[in-house]
Amino acid sequence: MGSKDNRTSSFVIKKYCDEHTCTKSWKLKGLTAPFLTRKFRDEFRDNEKMPLKKFSEKVQIEYNLIPTRSKLGRARRASVKEIRGEDDDQYNQLWDYGEELRKSNPGSKFFLCTKEIVDEKTKETKEHFSTLYWSLDACKRGRVNGCRPIIFIDGCHIKTRYKGNLLTTVSIDPNDCIYPIAFGLVEVESTSSWEWFMASLKDDLNICNTSPYTIMSDKQKGLIKAVAKVWPDAEHRFCVRHMYQNFHKLHKGEQLKNNLWAIARATNNLAYRKAMQKMEQDSIDAYKWVEKWPPRTWIKAFFNPFPKCDILLNNMSEVFNSWILEAR
């Protein structure tokens, strides 16, 4: 037992009993999901994809308690929601963003298309997001004045509540670095969406003659058809890294990988034949797989010299796709 001592203004133990009769409580009502949200909001601001296992370890170190997995999940979702906001609110602010973009950077393009959909519950007709294309005027002027006539295009999936696909186009600046040009947002990645995006890009850049340009992409079927239709005279080449991903599924090994890149980087017929012979010696199946692809689309020795865009082309494809993976 203890009480306050007025003389010393302290708490004094007056009677000690070494036998405890109280029961242990293993539950702490104060450790709730809102509490964890407030305490670990900055942690999720640095890493929104923090695994629940790691989150549990942080809580255990801080408070010597292990919350349930469902409580940790609620706290993580609430933290990310506070940081990023509601998806609906962000979509509603797109019109304001477009107006601010045109105001702060005159000459920029921002095309937002919506479609009318009937709500099954309320039977009301509402406008829903369909497609979006935007580009910055400063980036377009920099591309004309300093970039080479080569355009890399690719798309990646958006892993949010409403999904969708982000389409990107970049080029190479004089320092051999990635230079962004324009972006697009569509519901699905298809032939029609790629045709719309490539046509919007062509009109935005005021390109009439496509023959000096080189388009580089993966071998997505809809993209190949769109480039052939909208940019008929451009040199269309394929990313070797994407080709290797398909190649690696059937033919594994570091040596075969090096052989594939040696073939792609061959700058003359002699180097190409030597690289092909090396591939045939190591694996006849891999040799047949490589032989079926048109050499003009991915091997330096057979590139059309008119576009003059073969410098570091294969290396740039690796850099570009690494940039796309980071964006995902």
SS (H, E, C) 26-86: CCCCCCCHHHHHHHCHHHHHHCCCCCHHHHHHHHHHHHCCCCCHHHHHHHHHHHHHHHHCC
Q: Is residue 20 part of a domain?
A: no
111 phi and psi angles, rounded to 5 deg: -110, 115
Which of these three, 238, 256, 277, is where a domain ends? 238
Domain with 106 in it: 86-238
User: pTM for this structure?
Assistant: 0.68
Position 61, amino acid: I
Q: Which residue has the higher pLDDT, 92 or 153?
A: 153
Q: Pinpoint the alpha helices (H) of the chain.
A: 33-39, 41-46, 52-63, 69-84, 87-92, 94-104, 137-146, 191-204, 221-230, 240-250, 254-264, 269-282, 284-291, 313-327
Q: Is residue 5 part of a domain?
A: no
- Tell me: the pLDDT tens digits for 72-124? 889 888 888 887 776 677 778 888 888 888 888 888 889 888 888 777 777 77
Number of domains the chain contains: 3
CB 183 within 8 A of CB 154: no
Whether residue 290 has pLDDT greater than 50: yes
CB 173 within 8 A of CB 147: yes
Instruction: Please tell me whether residues 282 and 317 are part of one structural domain.
Output: yes
Task: Give the separation between CA 59 and CA 63, rounded to whole angstroms.
Answer: 6
Task: Give the separation between CA 235 and CA 310, rounded to whole angstroms.
Answer: 11
- List Cβ<8 Å contacts ≥24 apart for 302-306: 302/272, 303/235, 303/237, 304/235, 306/211, 306/212, 306/235
Instruction: Please tell me whether residues 77 and 50 are part of one structural domain.
Output: yes
- Tell me: the pLDDT tens digits for 173-231? 888 778 888 999 888 888 888 999 999 999 988 888 888 888 888 877 778 888 888 98
Instruction: Please tell me whether residues 101 and 197 are part of one structural domain.
Output: yes
